[in-house]
């Protein structure tokens, strides 16, 4: 297992994995030793969980409820179809990359079937579930408030998705119904663990892929050469927690070193709002606005975000680009978003 693998999602089989025996053959009366403890510990660490099982949906769901585990599993897929289809549907619903997901099943055949369809998923033998939480890819260096509430945040996200599917207007019209508020404030020492977590966990909406250790992040807080901001988002469905970072270096120009938005809020315009905020700061300080971009395997969407916001390339060095905001007029904030700005230095 590669050292940089971090599991964000565990998808469980049921028969002979979470519980003893096969439900359709009279089994499933008891959880396997260590199963409940593993589920609760992964949840405590902020690793979300689901189920992909070949079973009668109603009977399996009832048994999960009997064990008091129903609330721990998001978007369960229980049917007689291929488990790869269920795993794929879960990944899509939760917007989690296959390489950040673990599939746990006692059957080698089922693990192989999933890996054939989704080769980047990590598969584990359900027979060793008790040792799962000790593996390095399931470790977290610390547990933030956002991590402890991650399951609840995903449930709120799923409720939003369901409401959006039923909504008949445009995407912006739907967003206007959410009552979203974005709180932008300087990073404090209390935020540093969440900042570090965002830099490690976020790949799609990360402008450079730069990572900083705890000491580097802490040093930037008090350094007047940097403007280091974090944003929290909430709406009528609940608090999404701290979902974005904006790190700018001061000089003759303001230079965006890092722009990160949690993938959970990808469709809510938070990246565009942070860029609009950056253009306003640049206008206040009377400086041009530059942005570093380093292309990775996953972050093409961030390049598109910059281009749509009016940034143009001024330097290129392989995968590294330097962009410049091409207008003297700050970008407008999205109409559907109320922005609350705390004082910045």
Residues 267-300: tens digit of each pLDDT = 898 999 999 999 999 999 999 999 999 888 778 8
Residue 172 main-chain phi, psi, to 5 deg = -65, -35
pLDDT given for residue 1 in this prediction: 52
Q: Are residues 167 and 126 in the same domain?
A: no
pLDDT given for residue 36 in this prediction: 97
Please indicate, yes or no, if residue 3 is contained in any of the structural domains: no
Q: Are residues 230 and 336 in the same domain?
A: yes
Chosen domain end from 85, 116, 138: 138
Q: Are residues 159 and 304 in the same domain?
A: yes
pLDDT given for residue 205 in this prediction: 65
Please indicate, yes or no, if residue 4 is contained in any of the structural domains: no
- pTM for the whole thing? 0.79
Q: Are residues 44 and 151 in the same domain?
A: no
Q: How many domains does the chain have?
A: 2
Q: Are residues 153 and 275 in the same domain?
A: yes
Residues 303-313: tens digit of each pLDDT = 888 999 999 99
pLDDT given for residue 2 in this prediction: 46
Q: Are residues 268 and 159 in the same domain?
A: yes
Chosen domain end from 138, 161, 177: 138
Chosen domain end from 112, 138, 164: 138
Q: Are residues 122 and 210 in the same domain?
A: no
Q: Are residues 123 and 169 in the same domain?
A: no
pLDDT given for residue 342 in this prediction: 81
Domain of residue 108, CATH code: 3.40.50.1000
Domain of residue 283, CATH code: 3.40.630.30
Q: Which residue range forms the structural domain that includes residue 231? A: 145-341
pLDDT per 10-residue tile (average), the chain, 345 residues: 76 97 96 96 96 97 97 97 97 93 98 98 93 93 83 92 93 94 93 81 69 84 92 94 93 93 85 94 95 84 89 90 94 93 69
């Amino acid at each position: 297992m590669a050292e940089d693998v971090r599991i964000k999602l565990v998808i469980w089989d049921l028969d002979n994995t979470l519980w003893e025996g096969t439900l359709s053959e009279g089994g499933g009366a008891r959880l396997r030793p260590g199963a409940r403890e593993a589920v609760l510990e992964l949840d405590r660490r902020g690793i979300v969980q689901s189920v992909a099982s070949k079973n009668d949906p109603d009977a399996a769901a009832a048994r999960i409820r009997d064990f008091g585990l129903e609330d721990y599993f998001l978007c369960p897929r229980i049917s007689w179809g291929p488990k790869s289809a269920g795993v794929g549907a879960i990944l899509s619903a939760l917007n989690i990359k296959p390489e950040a997901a673990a599939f746990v099943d006692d059957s080698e055949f089922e693990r192989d079937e999933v890996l054939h369809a989704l080769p980047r998923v990590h598969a584990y033998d359900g027979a060793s579930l008790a040792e799962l939480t000790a593996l390095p890819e399931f470790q977290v260096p610390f547990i933030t408030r956002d991590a402890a509430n991650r399951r609840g945040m995903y449930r709120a996200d799923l409720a939003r998705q369901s409401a959006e599917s039923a909504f008949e207007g445009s995407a912006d019209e739907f967003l206007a119904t959410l009552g979203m508020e974005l709180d932008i404030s300087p990073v404090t020492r209390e935020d540093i663990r969440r900042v570090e977590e965002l830099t490690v966990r976020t790949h799609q909406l990360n402008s450079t892929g730069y990572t900083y250790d705890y000491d580097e992040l802490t040093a930037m807080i008090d350094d007047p050469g940097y403007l280091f901001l974090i944003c929290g988002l909430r709406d009528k469905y609940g608090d999404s927690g701290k979902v974005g970072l904006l790190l700018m270096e001061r000089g003759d120009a303001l230079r965006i070193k890092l722009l990160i938005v949690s993938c959970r809020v990808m469709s809510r315009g938070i990246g565009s709002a942070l860029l609009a905020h950056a253009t306003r700061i640049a206008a206040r300080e009377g400086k041009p606005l530059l942005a570093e971009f380093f292309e990775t395997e996953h972050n093409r969407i961030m390049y598109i975000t910059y281009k749509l916001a009016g940034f143009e390339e001024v330097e290129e060095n392989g995968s590294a680009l330097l962009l410049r905001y091409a207008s003297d007029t700050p970008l407008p904030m999205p109409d559907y978003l109320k922005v609350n700005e705390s004082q910045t230095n």
